[in-house]
């Protein structure tokens, strides 16, 4: 339980339990489980919000809840990654920009666009709304594991995220992805679309990271979480599917 609580404290602000010794490789498999907890809370809050406000307002509050419960942790990474990766800067320059705590214009634009897409997707959710609200945060936290397994850490001199790359992740570490994937099978064609879009978004993003930076950083992982979450909500809200 201490590894789960450690993962919970690392990627959320939920004050549950006391984490033990910081062990990145041990807490990583619990990231999708924490994502499923976030999604379940989102689903419950959405029920409450929908009792008092119309769908667009409730969906906006859902987006705000996702920001608050994570302490904008991944959004911060998205902003830094957008500032560093935009344009044709050299790899070293991009890494230096991503270390800067200040958010530039591209970072701000990326954050606003991502939140807007997420709001649009959640607003359009109708069929299996509750299930998708619950499992999509688990999928996107699982993308962190994929990024760490597939790409090396991009800062040779080390950084705050290096400890997560010290040990190679085996396939058994992905056990936390099993529950959300199984739940997606109850969502018909939208569930199939969810899995297809998830694979496509993560694959294309990691290919871009490989070509652009020949590796990945904590900020880039945060960007992967936020972008994939926005696109997954948008994909499963498409009209015309049962």
Between the alpha carbon of residue 59 and those of residues 25, 180, 191, the distances in Å are: 35, 21, 20
Using pLDDT thresholds of 50, 70 and 90, give the confidence band for residue 136: very high
What's the pLDDT tens digit per position in 99-128? 877 888 899 999 999 999 999 999 999 989
Q: Counting beta carbons within 10 angstroms of the beta carbon of residue 90, is it exposed (0 to 12), middle (13 to 18) or buried (19 or more)?
A: exposed
What's the Rg (C-alpha) of the chain?
17
Report whether 192 contacts 132 (CB < 8 A). Answer: no
Name, in order, each residue with C-beta under 8 angstroms of 147's C-beta and a sequence gap of 6 or more: 202, 206, 209, 216, 220, 221, 224
What's the pLDDT tens digit per position in 200-233? 999 999 999 999 999 999 899 999 999 999 999 9
At residue 168, does pLDDT exceed 90? no
Name, in order, each residue with C-beta under 8 angstroms of 173's C-beta and a sequence gap of 6 or more: 28, 29, 145, 149
Question: What is the mean pLDDT of the segment spanning 233-240?
Answer: 92
């Amino acid at each position: 339980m201490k590894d789960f609580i450690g993962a919970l404290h690392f990627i959320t602000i939920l004050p549950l339990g006391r984490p033990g010794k910081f062990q990145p490789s041990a807490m990583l498999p619990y990231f999708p489980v924490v994502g499923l907890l976030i999604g379940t809370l989102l689903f419950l809050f959405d029920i409450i919000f929908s009792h008092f406000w119309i769908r667009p307002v409730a969906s906006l509050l859902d987006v705000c809840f996702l920001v608050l419960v994570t302490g904008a942790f991944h959004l911060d990474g998205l902003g830094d990654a957008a500032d560093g990766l935009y344009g044709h800067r050299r790899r070293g320059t991009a890494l230096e920009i991503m270390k800067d705590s200040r958010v530039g214009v591209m970072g701000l634009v990326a954050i606003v666009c991502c939140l807007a897409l997420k709001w649009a997707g959640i607003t359009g959710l109708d069929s299996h709304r509750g299930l998708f609200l619950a499992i999509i945060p688990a999928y996107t936290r699982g993308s962190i594991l994929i990024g760490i397994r597939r790409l090396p850490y991009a800062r040779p001199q080390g950084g705050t995220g290096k400890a997560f790359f010290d040990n190679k992740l085996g396939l058994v570490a992905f056990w936390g992805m099993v529950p959300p994937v199984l739940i997606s099978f109850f969502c018909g064609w939208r569930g199939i679309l969810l899995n297809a879009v998830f694979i496509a978004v993560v694959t294309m993003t990691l290919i871009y990271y490989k070509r652009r930076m020949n590796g990945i950083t904590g900020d880039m992982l945060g960007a992967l979480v936020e972008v994939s979450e926005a696109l997954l909500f948008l994909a499963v809200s498409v009209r015309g599917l049962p």
